[in-house]
Amino acid sequence: MFTTLYIRELQNYLYSLRFQVSFVIVVLVFTLGSISFTSSFKDMHNNYAKYN
């Protein structure tokens, strides 16, 4: 009985619009941050290779 209640509550939470919007925002921020870090790291690595 507890597992059925737990699964039903989890499904309601996962199907909620608030969760879906939050999930999309988190994925976008993570993706943009990763792209930004990658380009910044490439620049730092190129500068290091150039001056050493």
For the stretch 7-29, pLDDT in tens is: 998 899 889 999 999 999 999 99
Q: What is the 3-state secondary structure (H, E, C) of the chain?
A: CHHHHHHHHHHHHHHCHHHHHHHHHHHHHHHHHHHHHHHHHHHHHHHHHHHC
Q: How would you class 9 by CB atoms within 10 Å of its CB: exposed for 0-12, middle for 13-18, buried for 19 or more?
A: exposed
pTM as predicted: 0.68
Give dist(CA 25, CA 21) in Å, integer.
6
For the stretch 27-51, pLDDT in tens is: 999 999 999 999 999 999 999 999 8
